[in-house]
Structures are given as structure tokens and as C-alpha cells.
Structure 1
Amino acid sequence: MKKCLLLCALVSPFALTGQAIAGANTAQLNCSGSHAGQAISLVGAIPASIVEVDLKLTYGAQTLGLASPQAEATERTDFRRGIFKLDVALPGANRLQLQAQPKSIKYKGSMGGGKLNASFVATIQEAPEPFKAVLKGAELRCSYAYDI
């Protein structure tokens, strides 16, 4: 079983509306930006057809790993319709919610075709502790790459 660094995602068949899920490959998510003069990054692998995810959230000098079994995540991806949402629930009421700005999404390829690359601007809707108060509303530039 793969080692998870940051988060776990549950991708349901409904999450990729109109797109087939091929194999147990991962998509790479790479987001970066800055907020209040500090660098932010959200980087790692989001499995396309299995439960585990491997992401890392960094703000300034602090890094937080979100991984299973402590974290439960859902992802909704339909780039054709301008949708990318990631929700990671942690113990208690702690969570990370990231949502792409629909009009910023640009993509090429398809999951069913075995290769998809996308870029978008996303907003942190909710951030986990210790970043909760400072990162809400922060914008990140993201790239998403899926390749069988």
C-alpha cells in the first residue's frame, strides 16, 4: 500500500461526470501562491480511482500532512463543466476545502483518454488548523496532471 503524506481522496464514479476512470493511477496536484507575505503550497498525488491521497500543505515555514486514515477526502472533477472541488475532513471539525474558479479552468485531454492536464485558480474555502484563520480566502494557482 502506498505511503500517504497529505490527504486521502475518495473519487466516486459520479465525481468524473462523463469521464471514465482508468486504472488506479494518480493525478498530480501542484498549487502555489502567497498570502500575507508568506508562500503557500498544496502539492501531492490525488489518486484517480482509489481512496488514498498524498498531499502536503505548506504556509511559510509550517507544513501539514493530510493523509489516510486520519483524513477523509472527496474530490469532484469535471473540467468540461468548470468544476474542481477538493474537500478533506480531518478529526473534529477540522477540514481543507479547495475550489477552482470555474472561468479560470483550462484543460487539455481527458481521463478516459488516459491523459489530462489542467490549470486553474483555486480559492481555499476552509483551511485546517494551524492555518484556519489565516488561509481562508487565499488564492492559489494550480496545475493538475493525470497520465496513465
Structure 2
Amino acid sequence: MRKILPLCTLALLFALSGQAVAGANTAQLDCTGSHAGQVLTLVGSIPASIVEVDLKLSYRGQTIRLVSPRAETSESTDFRHGIFRLEAALSGSNRLQLQAKPKSIKYRGSMGRGKLNASFGAILKDAPEPFKSVLKGAELSCIYAYEI
């Protein structure tokens, strides 16, 4: 005799599998600006709901790559309430901290619906070596794009 799963159990399993797929996605971050007359960029993949990062910070012809698992990341995102913070820690106090200016955030879509695009002004609260003392407080214009 075959067992038939109740419809609500199937729906729950389907919903959970959808969350697992959605959680496997990352968002793309593309930030540009200038500091002391030099071009500054921060581009790459950041966590959308998983903790993986692959970012490149470039300034004055030098590029630092922040990649999982070497860079441990945390992100706090709630565009509706003006929140975006990203932190990537390499070791000790060697970290990158990026924070959006809350009133600058403009967005369309939602992560729950599988597509979100945002733009905002941000400040580098902290930068990894060798940029630590030079880029702290630098301002960037950022675009955030997430899609399942």
C-alpha cells in the first residue's frame, strides 16, 4: 500500500524547498566614488541570505579581494526602513564596513518576490589594509541588485 502525503505537508515541503533555493542566491553590489581625486570602487557578490562574499575593493591601482571563507561576512538589509550594512572581516581589526546613508536609499521590488533593485549613498566606516587609514569615511554611490 502506498502512503499519500496530505496536501498541506506537500505544500510545506514545496515552500521550504523554495526558500532553500532563494537562500542560495547572492546579490550584486556595485559601488563607485572618488576619494582624494582617485577612483574608488567596491564591486562583486555579497550575501543575500547566505554568508558568502566575493568583493573587490580598488583604489589607486591596487585591488583587494574579499572572498569567503577567508572573509567572514554579515549583512543587515531592510531597505524599507533605510538600513543597509555590510561587514567583511578578514582577521582581527582588518575589516571592511560599508553603511548606507538611510535617507538616500531608493528601491523597487522585494526579496520575498525574488527581485529587488536599490540605489543608495554609502560611507566606508572601515577599510582593510593597506587602505585602512586612507579610505575610512570615503563616500560611494551604490547599486544593489538581487534576483532569483
TM-score after normalising by structure 1: 0.83
Residue identity (%): 72
Give distance in 2, aligned partners of 1:46 and 1:95.
15
Q: Is the 8 A contact 1:75 1:86 kept in 2?
A: yes
Q: What amino acid sits opposite 2:50 in the alignment?
A: I
1:37, distance to aligned residue in structure 2 (A):
1.0
Identify unmatched segments of 5+ residues in structure 2. 1-18
Richer in helix (by share): 2
Which residue of 2 is the match for residue 53 of structure 1?
53
Give distance in 1, aligned partners of 2:70 and 2:25.
22
Which residue of 2 is the match for residue 138 of structure 1?
138
Identify unmatched segments of 5+ residues in structure 1. 1-19
Which residue of 2 is the match for residue 9 of structure 1?
none
1:91, distance to aligned residue in structure 2 (A):
1.3
TM-score after normalising by structure 2: 0.83
Q: Is the 8 A contact 2:53 2:71 kept in 1?
A: no
**How large is the Cα RMSD of the aligned pairs?**
1.3
- Of the two structures, which has the highest relative contact order with CA contacts closer than 8 Å and spacing of 6 or more? 1
1:144, distance to aligned residue in structure 2 (A):
0.2
Which residue of 2 is the match for residue 39 of structure 1?
39
Higher-Rg member (1/2)? 2
1:25, distance to aligned residue in structure 2 (A):
1.2
The alignment of Structure 1 onto Structure 2 pairs a total of residues equal to: 129
Q: Is the 8 A contact 1:31 1:140 kept in 2?
A: yes
Please list every run of at least 4 consecutive aligned residues from structure 1 whose deviation after the TM superposition is greater than 4 angstroms: none
Give distance in 1, aligned partners of 2:76 and 2:122.
13
